[in-house]
Amino acid sequence: MRVLLTSFAHHTHYYGLVPLAWALLAAGHEVRVASQPALTDTITGSGLAAVPVGTDHLIHEYRVRMAGEPRPNHPAIAFDEARPEPLDWDHALGIEAILAPYFYLLANNDSMVDDLVDFARSWQPDLVLWEPTTYAGAVAAQVTGAAHARVLWGPDVMGSARRKFVALRDQQPPEHREDPTAEWLTWTLDRYGASFEEELLTGQFTIDPTPPSLRLDTGLPTVGMRYVPYNGTSVVPDWLSEPPARPRVCLTLGVSAREVLGGDGVSQGDILEALADLDIELVATLDASQRAEIRNYPKHTRFTDFVPMHALLPSCSAIIHHGGAGTYATAVINAVPQVMLAELWDAPVKARAVAEQGAGFFLPPAELTPQAVRDAVVRILDDPSVATAAHRLREETFGDPTPAGIVPELERLAAQHRRPPADARH
Amino acid sequence: MAEPTVTDDLTGALTQPPLGRTVRAVADRELGTHLLETRGIHWIHAANGDPYATVLRGQADDPYPAYERVRARGALSFSPTGSWVTADHALAASILCSTDFGVSGADGAPVPQQVLSYGEGCPLEREQALPAAGDVPESGQRGVVEGIHRETLEGLAPDPSASYAFELLGGFVRPAVTAAAAAVLGVPADRRADFADLLERLRPLSDSLLAPQSLRTVRAADGALAELTALLADSDDSPGALLSALGVTAAVQLTGNAVLALLAHPEQWRELCARPGLAAAAVEETLRYDPPVQLDARVVRVGTELAGRRLPAGAHVVVLTAATGRDPEVFTDPERFDLARPDAAAHLALHPAGPYGPVASLVRLQAEVALRTLAGRFPGLRQAGDVLRPRRAPVGRGPLSVPVSSS
């Protein structure tokens, strides 16, 4: 079959699709990956055929124009306040009212959607797999009749929030109802003679790489898939061949947070200082300018601009990170206990779930002190129950089929959901 | 919630670039995106603590607490939405009466703080010349309005001695006021259903200029404006007729607000029933206490000084008219609804220099007659369920529905 994968141009959002694309390719299917031009080299670098669509998105430019608004940790768009879902209608609507124009519409700019639909009309995919905010994929599938599914990068906060939003919306008097995302997709689909349906926001089914005990219950049809890491093109450094002489701890506050979101929100120097007297080997991903500001740190510290997590984490006893999708999932499959300084998007949801499983610690912004980070690391090194819980999560992950293992199921589901094009369905 | 740092630096304000063309000239994707982006900005500012953005967001049934937060910031404050805002009666009066301020900018083009423009045909986007003959309805209008209001109520409740439960707006106020306006304006009998339908689609018109509505709502209003203009084209004074028709919305809202205030103060309702001549006073007190047009936006025509601030030409100034009616510097016990208030008419609602100025007397007449008719027939009227209020309606305030009963 023909499988079209799509993600808006953001490399870490794209990486989650790559191993599944390889599996489909290796199983003999035709595979294309569509994104804005800025991602082309990243796609070809992952060994897949790129289809550049539209012009580049302006998410970063908007954020600059808007002087940092909306902040990703803005109270109006918090997905987690000790809860996986928004609580009331105003909160739920506020998330949509801000995310629709300032994320979804930007990530799926008009020219990108138009070109993707054109490509799908020409190439006629049987299945479209889309990153969970790249609704352009659902639009292209709706127009052409392809089956379509989301490929998640973490617990399904989007599906969960949407389900709650719809329930709250439908409790409102009709005069009060508002649905920004559906409005946008309605006028967008109208351009191609197709119509909106709720299924476009969550996919006909969902491929979820999260271990079952960390998953959010959305009631949506889900195919569990074992997470397989892809961290981009990488070279394994020599020093990783040597077993560490003391417990190895990784500190990484996330490539995405540093490159795009700007500012880490916490002083890395303070954290390094708090860890300075521990007998550990610290691997800290800091660039040269960040390193220049560091004064005090553990004696055995290795600074590095970048190291592929899938190569580093098997030798680690603990990891301190911000809750990014790839880092979190790679830590889970390598049974590494996690200290999560989580504040953005779905990170607090993941951190809470890992902490509840006993496989790590969640330090929300309000509780984040250098001492708290140190305490969590010491606890992980001293208390074997944390590592045991982390191993349990790893075993659970391995209970799901690999990307190659779900290909037959995707073939079956694609055949089941495949329809004629929208203009022939009336 | 923390109040944000007060700034008057417009360059630092997070505002939406203007559309630059009328609604009709803009494709769905551009207009829809503009509406969503503007609404998103209002949510962001409201979440950050700006009270005027909270007003524009229009998610609260009761906007008066937000008005008080504006008042607490001083006579004139700057909102990060890009508008200057006042709740101060004296300052507001000076703005509304001054020729330094216009409904539109000096060149007639909408300022960026106006979300969209329907163009030349929209009477709410520009000053209206006051009628040369003065602002007094012909006595013949009163007779027509009284007759239609009475017939509407008798049709709803034929037996004066029976008990009734009905929805006040849909059952009486809206059909009575709409039919009376249709009769006054000479709308042909076979077009009166269309007339009513068009006015319903135009209800959010005033709101849509400052608070983004859905794409569908805006398109419906734009189409309705053109259709209503065509429907009234045969009228002797068609621009005036169009404005009078738009006044129906204000009259319905004014009547609804008056009934709600009176039923919330049953002793005042009984007073009105005993002395129907108080209906005009009830209308004035409602215009002070909870007016149908809650705010008036103005544009600085030539650079001016205001409350010690230098405002350049093109600056957008929003008078929170509803809040000025509760200014404690002017009104004693402003939160109290009182038919006997001697100075109720000192309010600034339906200001003669504003868009509704030329039709204010017809709006008042409709509301007064509706109150008088209702009190005459249903002295035992009471609220019998929850009031439904619109969202995204920071300008036009009035209930959508009010379940009532009478025995």
**Which residues from chain B sit within 8 angstroms of residue A184, using beta carbons?**
32-33, 36
Q: What is the mean pLDDT of residues A116-126?
A: 98
Averaged over B314-323, what is the pLDDT? 97
Q: What is the mean pLDDT of chain B?
A: 91
Q: Is residue B355's pLDDT more than 90?
A: no
Q: What pLDDT does residue A226 have?
A: 97
Q: Considering only CB atoms, which residues of chain A are within 8 Å of chain B? A: 66-67, 69-70, 74-76, 90, 93-94, 97-98, 100-102, 105, 110, 173, 175-176, 178, 180, 183-184, 187-188, 190-191
Cα dihedral sign for B300, B303, B304, B305?
Answer: positive
* A254-286 per-position pLDDT tens digit: 544 343 333 345 577 888 999 999 999 999 998
Contact B28 A190 (CB under 8 A): yes
- pLDDT at residue A382, as a whole number: 96
B interface mutation test: which of A99, A175, A191 has the most B CBs within 10 A? Answer: A175
Q: Which of B29, B36, B391 sits opposite A180 (nearest CB)?
A: B36
Q: What is the DSSP letter of B369?
A: H
Per-residue model confidence (pLDDT) at position A70: 58
Chain B contact set for A102 (CB, 8 A): 37, 40
Per-residue pLDDT tens over the stretch A403-425: 999 999 999 999 999 999 998 88
Judging contacts by C-beta atoms under 8 Å, the chain B residues touching residue A101 are: 33, 36-37, 39-40
Query: CB-based contacts of B353: which residues, under 8 Å, 6+ apart?
Result: B96, B97, B127
* Residue B212, phi-psi category: left (phi > 0), alpha (psi -120 to 50), beta (remainder): beta
SS (H, E, C) A229-270: CCCCCCCCCHHHHCCCCCCEEEEECCHHHHHHHCCCCCCHHH
Contact: A184, B390; criterion CB under 8 Å: no
Gap between the Cα atoms of B219 and B196, Å rounded:
18
B59 → chain A, closest CA residue? A90
Alpha-carbon gap: B100 to the closest alpha carbon of chain A (Å): 32
The nearest alpha carbon in chain B to A100 belongs to B36
Task: Report yes or no: A195 and A389 within 8 Å, Cβ to Cβ.
Answer: no
CA distance A374 to chain B (A): 32
Band (B138; pLDDT cuts 50, 70, 90): low
Strands (E), B96-194: 101-102, 164-167
The helix/strand/coil state of A223 is: strand
Between A7-11, A363-367, B6-10, the lowest mean confidence (pLDDT) is in B6-10
Number of Cβ atoms within 10 Å of the Cβ of A65: 11
Partner-chain contact A176 B215, CB within 8 Å: no
Per-residue pLDDT band for A77 (boundaries 50, 70, 90) equals low
| Per-residue model confidence (pLDDT) at position B182 | 95
Q: CA-to-CA distance for B197 and A307, rounded, in angstroms?
A: 66
Q: Say whether B29 and A183 touch across the interface (CB within 8 A).
A: no
Domains, chain A, ranges and CATH? 2-226+400-425 (3.40.50.2000), 238-397 (3.40.50.2000)
Size of interface A-B (CB pairs under 8 A): 67
Partners of A91 on chain B (C-beta within 8 Å) are: none
Give A-chain residues touching B81 at CB under 8 angstroms: none
Distance CA A367, CA A153 (A): 26
* Nearest CB to A101 within list B28, B33, B400: B33
**What is residue B9's predicted lDDT score, i.e. its pLDDT?**
45
Q: Which of A64, A69, A188 has the highest number of chain B CBs within 10 A, making it the mutation to test binding with B?
A: A69
User: What pLDDT score does A68 carry?
Assistant: 58
Helix, strand, coil shares of chain B, percent, nearest 5, are: 50, 10, 40
Task: Quickly state the pLDDT bin for B40 (edges 50, 70, 90).
Answer: very high
Task: Report the pLDDT value the prediction gives residue A156, as an integer from 0 to 100.
Answer: 93
The residues on B that touch A, with CB distances below 8 Å, are: 12, 14, 28-29, 32-33, 36-37, 39-40, 43-44, 47-48, 59, 214-216, 388, 390-392, 400
Nearest to A94 among B37, B43, B390 (CB): B43
Which of A135, A178, A191 would best serve as a mutation to test chain B binding (most B beta carbons within 10 A)? A178
**A101 preceded by a cis bond (ω within 30 of 0):** no
ipTM of the complex: 0.92
**Which residues in chain B have their CB less than 8 angstroms from residue A74's CB?**
44, 47
Question: By CA distance, what is A174's nearest residue in B?
Answer: B390
Alpha-carbon gap: A201 to the closest alpha carbon of chain B (Å): 18
Which residue type occupies A379? R
- Name the pLDDT band for B236 (thresholds 50, 70, 90): confident
Domains in chain B with CATH codes: 10-406 (1.10.630.10)
| Pick from A373-377, B104-108, B242-246: least confident | B104-108
B14 to A69: CB separation less than 8 angstroms, yes or no: yes
- Return the residue of B nearest to A190 by Cα: B28
pLDDT for A63:
75
Alpha-carbon torsion, ordered B191, B192, B193, B198, to 10 deg: 90
Q: How far apart are the C-alpha atoms of A281 and A298, rounded to whole Å?
A: 8
pLDDT for res B2: 36
pLDDT in tens, A170-207: 999 999 999 999 999 999 999 999 999 999 999 999 99
CA–CA separation, A353 and A339 (whole Å): 12
Rounded mean pLDDT, B160-165: 88
Provide the 3-class DSSP secondary structure of residue A314: helix
- The answer to whether A192 and A134 have CB atoms below 8 angstroms apart is no
% residues pLDDT > 90 (chain B): 78
- Whether A308 and A232 have beta carbons less than 8 Å apart is answered as yes
How many angstroms separate the CA atoms of B23 and B213, rounded? Answer: 12
Which uninterrupted H or E stretch holds A216?
A: none
Contact assignment for A184 to B28 by CB distance below 8 Å:
no
pLDDT of residue B231: 94
B331 to B70, B74, B289, B387: CA distances (angstroms): 18, 18, 10, 27
Beta-carbon separation of A90 and B59 below 8 A: yes
Question: In this structure, what token pair is assigned to residue A328?
Answer: 């979190």
- Across the interface, whether the CB atoms of A97 and B215 are under 8 A apart is answered no
Question: Residue B215: which of A94, A173, A187 has the nearest Cβ?
Answer: A187
pLDDT tens-digit profile of B12-28?
Answer: 556 788 888 999 999 99
- Give me A360's structure tokens: 């790590």
Return the residue in A59, A65, A90, A168 with the most chain B beta carbons within 10 A, the one to mutate for interface testing: A90
User: For A47-63, what is each residue's pLDDT tens digit?
Assistant: 999 999 999 999 888 87
Please answer yes or no on whether A187 and B59 come within 8 Å at the CB atom: no
Q: Is the model's pLDDT at B134 over the cut of 50?
A: no
Q: What pLDDT does B59 receive?
A: 97
